A and B are shown apart, each in its own frame.
Chain A
Amino acid sequence: MLDARNVLADALNMQAEDVPEEASMDDVPEWDSLGHMRVVLLLEEIIGRSLNTEEILSLDSVQSFQHILDESLTVASQVGEGS
């Protein structure tokens, strides 16, 4: 399973171990407005689809990114199994 901390770290030019598991957008100085855009765009690239507005609004912590990653990649693997 892909770790959201790696996604955040990649987009924010950080080391994954420097992104706390419980971090929110308030806690990571590198997580600024342009950094947020890079993180969301990278997430969309990984899951292969655009996020809807409710999902965009939910993204404010490592856990919220992990939730979308887990959900999207699980759906993708189930689709793959069924075909």
Chain B
Amino acid sequence: MTEQIPTIDTGRFVLRCLTEDDVTDRYISWLNDPEVTRYLQARNSKHNHDSTLAYVKNHNNIDKFLFGIFDKSKDMHIGNFSLSVSLVHKTGIQGVMIGDKEYWGQGVILEARAGLLDICFGELGLFKVNGLPLASNLPAVFNYKRQAWVVEGIQSKQYLCDGKRVDGIHFSMFRDFWLEKKHA
């Protein structure tokens, strides 16, 4: 199925489905870095080559996708988007990790997620995409608001983070709104 999902060029970055060859020590080091995974599920486990390979292979490119974000100028892997799709409801839930901290604060997520949304609403034919950041993940909240995602709700004390219960925020992007925004 991988060949049916095109590589997306966003300008500075390329998004493509990860393969087993992308499981490198560099990628694994991100998963074991508490600063990188502070707001991610990945922080709850230790990661090695086998567990990371299993995670990558678990994405079937039918309803589970793992897109690598690559710096086009260096052909270098810097992060990932995960995407789970409901084929019945034509909706998706995405999450992002920028593993290479040199790229934090560089607008990577805004640019790369625009490419991801183009895939979601184009090739995958989705109606709506969701994002579920922790409210305490302030850079993530900024990125969703900056990209005009809709707040659909607050999940009170949904997560445990740094020993405290914190809210989750339910953001959504609808296909029609995205296409209208893109062509405005």
Contact = CB atoms under 8 A, between A and B. Distances in A.
Main secondary structure of the interface of A (DSSP, over half): helix
Contact of B107 (A32, A37, A41, A56): A32
A33 B139 contact: yes
B15 interface: no
B151 A57 contact: yes
A34 B139 contact: yes
A35 B135 contact: no
Nearest to B145: A60
B145 A25 contact: yes
Contacts of B151: 57
A53 B139 contact: no
A57 B104 contact: no
Contact of B139 (A25, A26, A37, A60): A37
Interface string B121-144: 000000000000001001111110
B154 interface: yes
B105 interface: yes
A32 B142 CA distance: 8
Contacts of B74: none
B133 to A, nearest CB: 11
Contact of B169 (A25, A32, A33, A53): A53
A60 to B, nearest CB: 6
Contacts of B167: 53
Given A32-B142, A57-B141, 17 more contacts: A25-B142, A25-B146, A33-B104, A33-B107, A33-B138, A33-B139, A33-B142, A33-B143, A34-B104, A35-B105, A36-B138, A36-B139, A36-B141, A37-B138, A40-B138, A53-B154, A56-B135
6 contacts: A26-B146, A33-B139, A33-B142, A36-B139, A37-B138, A40-B138
